[in-house]
Structure 1
Amino acid sequence: MTRALLALVLVLWAGALTRDRVDLWIDRTDLPPLLLDTSAEVRDRDGDLLRVYTVADGRWRLRVGAGSMANLRPGKVLGAPLIECSARPQAGLRRPAPLGRRICATPRDGAALDDNRNQPAPITSKGVDPLYLAMLMAYEDRRFLTHPGVDPYAMARAAWQSLWAGRIVSGGSTLTMQTARLLEDSGTGSWSGKLRQIRLALALERRMTKAEILTLYLHLAPMGGNLEGIRAATLAYFGKEPKRLTPAEAALLVALPQSPEARRPDRHPLQAAAARDRVLARMVTENILTPAEARAAMTDTAPRARRPFPALAPHLTDRALSEAPDAPLQTLTLDATLQASLEDLATRSLRNRSDRLSIAILVADHRNGEILASVGSAGLTDRGQGFVDMTQALRSPGSTLKPLIYGLAFDQGLAHPETLIADRPMEFDGYAPQNFDGEFRGEVRIADALRLSLNLPAVQLTEALGPQNLMAALRRAGTRPDLTGKPGLAVALGGVGLTLTDLTQLYASLANGGVTRPLHWRAVAEVDAPRLISRASAWQVGHILAGLAPPPGAPANRLAYKTGTSYGHRDAWAIGYDGAHVIGVWMGRPDGTPVPGAFGGDLAAPILFEAFGRLKPTLETPPPPPPETLLVGATLLPEPLKRFRPRGVVEDRDLPQVAFPPDGAVLAAAGVVPVRVRDGVAPFTWLVNGRPMQTGARGRELLLQGLGRGFTEIAVIDGAGRSARVEVVLE
């Protein structure tokens, strides 16, 4: 190899005498492919990395200066002009003369030279610390800016040192030659290999700028294992971009490519530190660092492990990549910090729970539709089914459609929050829904019916609206309900397939004053927003939901929210919103099997409140009621709105009254109580503390049996759905 170095020097000097032949030899060089595959990147709204992918051969090769890649072919790097001229000296850096002056082109291009000293200036790279570049060129190739690809002086020095010592003391390879070797993955231990590198380096210098050549090196430099290039190295070893590096970090990155496996800091930290220190010592002699700066850098601890590359929002980033596989850089509307926080929340929420339970969380700004966080599960490998994106899975929504039903009823003039509605056993052409707790409460206000999530009032309103109109409203809200066959009243209680994204979209419309803005995770052009319900009805729904008591331990912050539990305890939901944001939470099993004892209020609601706490410290106040909102008590409502009456039912003006026992009475006899109803129309249903005791009674008097002691509520509902009640004490 020593003889090879000497022979190469002689060949280069001889080439000066036969320049025409050398030029022809260089011009006929077959260049390797200069288009490099680089890792696809997905970034958040602020440019922070969410996810980065390896190239086809499993290597991490990240673009340098990804922000200025618009002029490149997707997913490729071709010595792009990411490296630019330095308009002024880099503050705080001492350079040797060849690196300290302004230049805007390479010498072969007619370089701009310093007027006073005729010296080229440093090349700077967008996104790379100039200290690293200064160290790199000072250590590896101090005449990089002026030589034609091969440095005869460096090669002569290397040959002389080798002859004198009888071994290779230093190499003569320039950065251009190293780039040539990396492009072809060729070795340096043979005459033919070295000669090929020289020829290719000379050819590269004729066809590319210095900036483009250095850009290739910054992408290809081996950094240990499957890491290539400076960005992959800084992210893996330091957990940061290469924009700002300490002297110790920059020196390690300069030393690594010379022996990337033997100096890997994650496997050989002592060797890595020693190589780094040699670079630091050299930087003192090159006037890049002061002795004090070098000594301080040598005390830094070299990294001892590789950090994982960012892999936030794995389900959504995979979807983004599948939709645009050729895009080298994708920017989503997500917030990386919030995403990481909610992924942590998802993981913690499943601790000490069933190993088959999963979770999904979706956060959006309902004012513009931007999705800020999307958690499809607690992790791709979590619990065996973490790969399933539960923000996109069709599930039964349970009671979460009730706010829409009430909002539509307000719009249609069927009801008002103060309207009374019957909660009693009913049958609708063979469909006899029950409340979740199996109890009935007689006549209640609409606002209370929504807060208590009563089923019978919601079904009555759906019958009045028409199930098909409810389905049309769901589509108008931007959701994609899945239903086979003609919609029936069961839709009101969850008899339709919807995703967490659908439900969050629906509640975003309610939160946004009844106006639908499609949720999106890419920037989209502004579109006309259809109206779902009037702004007055949307405000009334939100006002009712904000009065719902928070779960135990959650802050009493008047978050407008609704919970839901699907049939068989398969899905637990909680969706809420304030004046700016909407969050949806789902918990259950991806395979759809029941989760015994699971309720939305117990499982999902606490997660919803904590998610809002991680989103921001305080809720944003919703807008005030629109001027057209009817804000009156029950007594001042128009007569048709005082009590909900199913369509087609003729109202009897004589309302039922409990004639006996009188309200507030104290009865000595417990166990059996005589009751009597006055007015109203048969048949009558009698309830005690919300539980039906007698249904279909035609007579106005009967004995209620099996009553216990203490305060007791007795209610009667007549055939027209009107009710009356009294409270008594049984001793």
Structure 2
Amino acid sequence: MKRKIFIFFMLIFSSFFIADFFYPLDLNALKPAQSPILYDKNGEIMTIRLNENGDFMIYAKNVPEILKKSVLYFEDRYFYYHFGVNPLSIFRAFFHNLTHENRIGASTITMQVARMISKNERTYANKFIEIFRALQLEMHFSKDEILNIYFNLAPYGGNLSGVASAAKFYFNKDLDKLSYSQMALLATIPKNPNKNRLDKNGDTALKNSVLKRLYQAKIIDFNTYKRSKNEPFVKQRLNAIYNAPEFSKIAIKNGIKNSQYELEIHKNLLNLLRVKMRELNDKKAFNAAGVVIDNKTMQVISFIGSHDQNAKDGKNSALKMKRNVGSTLKPFIYALALENGLITPRKKLVDTQIYIGNYAPQNYIGQFYGVLRASDALAFSLNIPFVALNEKLGQNSLYELLKKANLVDKNADFYGASIALGSAEISLLNLAHLYTIFANNGVLKPLKMAGDFVNNQTDEIALLTPQSAYLTAKALSNATRANLKNAWEFAKNSPKIAFKTGTSYGSRDLYAIGVNQNYTIAVWVGNFNALKTESLTGLNDVSSVVFEMFKLLSFSKKMEFFTQPNGISYQKTCVDEFVFNECKSYENDEQILGVSPINSCESIRGEELDFMLKNAIITQDDVAKSPCDFKNKKPLIASPAQNSQIQTDTNQSKIMIKCYSFFGKNIHVKINDEPYFNATSGDEILKILPLGEHLVSCLDEGSNFSQVDFKIRR
């Protein structure tokens, strides 16, 4: 008999091992399909997405012991003693279900795992398959491994899979941060996940009932029981975490799990933008964006494409939006002018009317400053001096710098002279990237955002010399109380930064940018639909966000300003607007070694010469004795422009004729075939002319001749 029994069991075991060989466990089914999760630099979840099964699943490595004991108490008290199947429970459930309407189950934890990986209908035939799979699990895995699989596969209501997902969505906590009452509530869900889900049927009574049973089972002590009973219960299920949507989308696409993003910085910037926009909404500004770059790692560590998805047009994003960037490009003209010998920081510039073809730029304040230092022109963000400097740079102008950086896609003529005032449309991210050159010795280093290279740049590009980059950043940092106006209150307690603002035409786009050795922060405010705001400016209405952000960063991060590179010296320097016979004003000023002042004769404009003569900065004698060959320099016809077409709704139009002479104060003007008449250089001469083509000629005292043709049409 014993032999027969032995053979019987040997046949059973042999059959099991044969079946296990031919019908092995699906090991892939034991590995839950995790939700794509993106973590920030400090391990905090930034974004969680649905997995391939349409569930939220966060993998749990270490499940708290109390939670394990609680689940085993409610689900399978003999888990560590049976071999995957509990015969006593099966018999008890069988006889109970024969005699009672309410049915009970007999599945062990191991059998539940077997059912989760097969997901077959609950029939008696499938129950035998479930038992077979449970035995396989017990043979191939330890008890603790099976229990961990259970916690990661168990349903927790709706589309929540796994206990870590439940902890995050019901309580916004990691497993190791759960309270005893929270763990107790989670232990009740898998038995009937849709009925027991906490956001539908959870309440304080359920919580206290579960706690009492755990206390009676001596899983928790009396003090824990009393303390946990007093813990309030909130019936909720949180929305999926979805911070930094632009960054997260790119990172998940690139398969990144652990990013360099800093969620705390993101939240601080987002909060500052939202506070600011509440102030500006009544001035017709509805959208804002911001970016923070770590200048040392060249990583985007915060990007907010839209401060509020629910704002007007707020579902748009500034990530790829290109706009006029206003005055934010002037520092690069200043730097180019330094390294090409056009200026030194204390060099005097002439701020007066300038004419470049049809283009006659104005300062934002609507008036001219006259003579002021180059560094002051930058601090006050005057338009005309920088348009003039950029023209004088010739083939070393702002356009060439932007072209090297791959930030322009048209030829120079397309942008014209207005490029100095931001007409080359650039995205906020690319603009911030450009400003990082001040922290990197004038070199535009590749910038990464969520694994992608910004603007597809993979090589370093030298845009400025280290010396011009430093001197420009220093000038940008020396803004005075008068320059900053009401922004001073925010700036005075902030770390030292190079700072610039910009405002596009019609106050459509407002910018503020700050940079030090560590970080670059750029902010945009405006409207995604490009509508005008009510006379807002980057300086008055946006700058506080950048200063406050640097202040917040300084509480936890190291802040450094730029170190002066070699190749800069203080020297006795001529700071005259233009040097004719001899220098009239010498000052100690910073100079880049090896850079010689450019020839004033080549760079002077007729408008500037006229201003200096009329304001007695120079005399006609200075001009006559100058080494410049003004006697052979053609007059400048400022208005009308060559080949211009002037429109009118009548049969005639009033035209302004303006000629500047480089030699002598008198100029002779001729219109069409009429005789010449005398005028003073720079005078505004108004003439009424009929429709058709016209020719204006100007002749100076040295017989130098210029002419332009233009057309008046209806």
Structures share fold, TM-score greater than 0.5: yes
Q: Residue in 2 aligned with 1:149? A: 84
TM-superposed deviation, 1:655? 11
1:625 maps to 2:577: no
Counterpart secondary structure, 1:584:
strand
2:490 is the counterpart of 1:554: yes
Query: Does the CA contact (< 8 Å) of 2:352 and 2:611 recur in 1?
Result: no
Q: Distance in 1 between matches of 2:365 and 2:659?
A: 19
Aligned residues: 602
Q: Aligned to 1:647, which of 602, 606, 631?
A: 602
User: Where do residues 648-667 of structure 1 align in structure 2 (5 Å cutoff)?
Assistant: 649=604
Q: Check whether the contact 1:409–1:415 (CA below 8 A) recurs between aligned residues.
A: yes
* 1:315-394 aligned within 5 A: 315-321=246-252, 323-324=253-254, 327=255, 330-351=257-278, 352-353=281-282, 357-383=286-312, 385-394=313-322
User: Tell me, what secondary structure is at the counterpart of 1:306?
Assistant: coil
Aligned to 2:653: none
For 1:185, the equivalent position in structure 2 comes to 119
| 1:39 equivalenced with 2:45 (yes/no) | no
What is the identity, as a one-letter code, of the residue corresponding to 2:262? D
**Partners of 2:192 and 2:96 in 1: CA distance:** 21
For 2:75 and 2:51, the matched residues in 1 are separated by 28
SS at match of 1:258: coil
SS at 1:422 equivalent: strand
Q: Is the 8 A contact 2:354 2:388 kept in 1?
A: no
Structure 2 CA distance for aligned equivalents of residues 701 and 177 of structure 1? 103
Match of 1:417 among 322, 345, 360: 345
Q: Is 2:255 aligned against 1:255? A: no
Look up the SS of the partner of 1:256 in the other structure. coil
Note the alpha carbon deviations across 1:202-238, whole angstroms, 9 max, x for none.
2333455545543432222121222221111111111
Contact 1:334 1:373 in 2 (8 A): yes
Alignment of 1:167-566 (within 5 A): 171-186=105-120, 188=122, 190-208=123-141, 210=143, 212-270=145-203, 273-284=204-215, 287-321=218-252, 323-324=253-254, 327=255, 330-351=257-278, 352-353=281-282, 357-383=286-312, 385-466=313-394, 469-476=397-404, 478=405, 480-483=407-410, 486=413, 488-522=416-450, 529-548=460-479, 549-552=483-486, 553-556=489-492, 557=494, 558-566=496-504
For 1:180 and 1:659, the matched residues in 2 are separated by 95
The 3-state SS of whatever aligns with 2:349 is strand
Mapped partners of 1:437, 1:400: distance in 2 = 17
Shift of 1:197: 2.2
Say which SS state the counterpart of residue 371 (structure 1) adopts.
strand
1:560-612 Cα distance to aligned partner (Å, 9 max, x none): 21111123332111111233211001112223333342322233212222322
User: Which of residues 526, 532, 535 in structure 2 aligns to 1:588?
Assistant: 526
Retained in 2: the 8 A contact 1:507–1:577?
Answer: yes
The structure-2 alpha-carbon separation of the partners of 1:139 and 1:267, relative to structure 1 and needing over 3 Å to count, comes to: closer
Following superposition, the deviation at residue 450 of structure 1 comes to: 0.8
User: Secondary structure, in 3 states, of the residue corresponding to 2:60?
Assistant: coil
Whole-angstrom distance in 1 between the partners of 2:615 and 2:403? 49
**Partner Cα separation in structure 1 for residue 615 and residue 44 of structure 2:** 72
Moved more, 166-175 or 35-44: 166-175
CA distance in 1, matches of 2:209, 2:609: 100
Q: Report Cα offsets for 1:50-79 as digits up to 9, x if no partner.
A: 1111124542122224xxxxxxxxxxxxxx
Residues 419-456 of structure 1 show CA distances to partners (whole Å, capped at 9, x for unaligned) of 11211112234432222222112222110111111222
| Alignment CA distance shift 1:645-1:387 (3 Å) | farther
Query: How far is the alpha carbon of 1:625 from its aligned partner?
Result: 2.8
TM-fit CA distance, 1:275 = 4.7
- Paired with 2:126 and 2:234, the residues of 1 have a C-alpha distance of 34
5 Å matches for 1:674-713? Answer: 679=621, 698=665
State the distance in 2 between where 1:488 and 1:524 align: 32
Give the distance between the partners of 1:539 and 1:648, measured in 2 at CA: 25
| Distance in 1 (alpha carbons) for counterparts of 2:195 and 2:262 | 39
* 1:485-520, Cα deviation, whole Å (9 max, x unpaired): 645322211121211111111111113332333322
Q: 1:516 to 1:564 in 2, by over 3 A?
A: same
Summarize the Cα distance change of 1:551–1:656 in structure 2 as closer, same or farther, 3 Å threshold: closer
CA distance in 1, matches of 2:84, 2:601: 89
Instruction: Pick one of 543, 549, 557 that aligns with 1:605.
Output: 543
- Please tell me whether the aligned partners of residues 180 and 200 of structure 1 are also in contact (alpha carbons under 8 angstroms): yes
Q: Distance in 1 between matches of 2:406 and 2:544?
A: 25
- Structure 1: gaps (5+ residues): 1-13, 66-124, 664-675, 686-693, 705-718, 720-731
Structure 1 counterpart SS, 2:484: coil
| Residue type of the alignment partner of 2:39 | R
The Cα shift of 1:193 comes to 4.1
Residue 386 to residue 397, structure 1, CA distance change in 2 (3 Å): same
Counterpart for residue 577 of structure 1: 515
Q: Is the 8 A contact 1:483 1:496 kept in 2?
A: no
2:65 maps to which of 130, 134, 153: 130
Tell me what 1:109 maps to: none
Range 357-366 or range 132-141, more displaced: 132-141
Cα 1:315/1:527, change in 2 over 3 Å: closer
TM-score using structure 1 length:
0.73
1:42, distance to aligned residue in structure 2 (A): 1.0
Percent of matched pairs sharing the same residue: 27
Q: What's the secondary structure of 1:616's corresponding residue?
A: helix
Whole-angstrom CA distance in 1 between matches of 2:184 and 2:303: 39
Q: In 2 relative to 1, CA 658–343 (structure 1 residues): closer, same or farther, beyond 3 Å?
A: closer
SS at match of 2:193: coil
2:649 corresponding residue in structure 1: none
Does the residue aligned with 1:421 lie in a helix, a strand or coil? Answer: strand
Q: Does the C-alpha gap of structure 1 residues 413 and 644 become closer, same or farther in structure 2, counting only changes over 3 Å?
A: same
- SS of 2:446's equivalent in the other structure is coil
C-alpha distance in 2, partners of 1:502/1:586?
12
Read off the aligned partner of 1:554 and give its amino acid letter. Answer: F
Deviation at 1:286, TM superposition (A): 5.0
Match of 2:50 among 41, 47, 54: 54
Give me the whole-angstrom Cα distance separating, in 1, the residues matched to 2:177 and 2:588.
Answer: 67
Q: How far, CA to CA, are the matches of 1:439 and 1:245 in structure 2?
A: 65
> Structure 1 stretch 18-27 or stretch 391-400: which is displaced more?
18-27
**Secondary structure, aligned partner of 1:426:** coil
Measured after TM superposition, the shift of residue 650 of structure 1 is 10
Cα 1:527/1:543, change in 2 over 3 Å: same
Cα drift, residue 484 of structure 1 = 5.3
RMSD: 4.1
Q: Is the 8 A contact 1:150 1:174 kept in 2?
A: yes
Contact 2:445 2:460 in 1 (8 A): yes
**Higher helix fraction: Structure 1 or Structure 2?**
2
- The separation in 1 between residues aligned to 2:613 and 2:409, in whole angstroms, is 45
Tell me the CA shift for residue 396 of structure 1: 1.4
Q: Which ranges in structure 2 are unaligned for 5 or more consecutive residues?
A: 1-7, 576-585, 624-629, 638-657, 667-678, 684-700, 702-714
Given the superposition, is the C-alpha separation of residues 484 and 588 from structure 1 closer, same or farther in structure 2, using an over 3 Å criterion? farther
Q: CA–CA distance in 2 between the matches of 1:563 and 1:424?
A: 22
How far apart, in 2, do the equivalents of 1:358 and 1:596 lie? 14
Contact 1:433 1:455 in 2 (8 A): yes
Distance in structure 2 (CA, Å) of the matches to 1:621 and 1:414? 30
SS in 2 for 1:390: coil
